[in-house]
Amino acid sequence: MKKVVYSIAKSGRFESKLTGIGFITESDLVIACISQKGNAYIRVFEDCVKKCHEIPSRPGEFKGAHYEIREIEFEKKNSSGESTGIETREIEVEYSIWYKLVD
């Protein structure tokens, strides 16, 4: 595993940005995160290394895009506002990833 400095920006309706120090395996970016409730967890961006390319004239810096398909559940309501049950949908989440190898 190699140590990296990273920046991950989530695109879309609820944009967010993560920065910090993480690790690169042969194919994945591994970072430590803290949930909204304060619980620590490890986040893995699978096959990220294959999708990122080296930035010209900036040795050791890489960038690229990572896509994930997530299943979300939401309450469905009819026109009068009454709940008709729970519906599940799949959405695509896009992340812009930048990282730099640290010695």
Model confidence over 18-72: pLDDT tens digits? 899 999 999 999 999 888 899 999 999 988 888 899 999 999 999 999 888 989 8
Which among 96, 98, 103, 101 has a CA at the least distance from the CA of 15? 96
Q: In which residue are the tokens 């910090």 written?
A: 20
Return the sign of the alpha-carbon dihedral for residues 50, 56, 62, 68. Answer: negative
pTM, entire model: 0.76
Task: State mean pLDDT over 12-19.
Answer: 82
Between 100 and 83, name the one with better pLDDT: 100
Two tokens, residue 33: 């995160």
Predicted confidence (pLDDT) at residue 76 exceeds the cutoff of 80: yes
- How far is residue 98's CA from residue 96's CA, in Å, rounded to a whole number? 7
Task: State mean pLDDT over 83-97.
Answer: 88
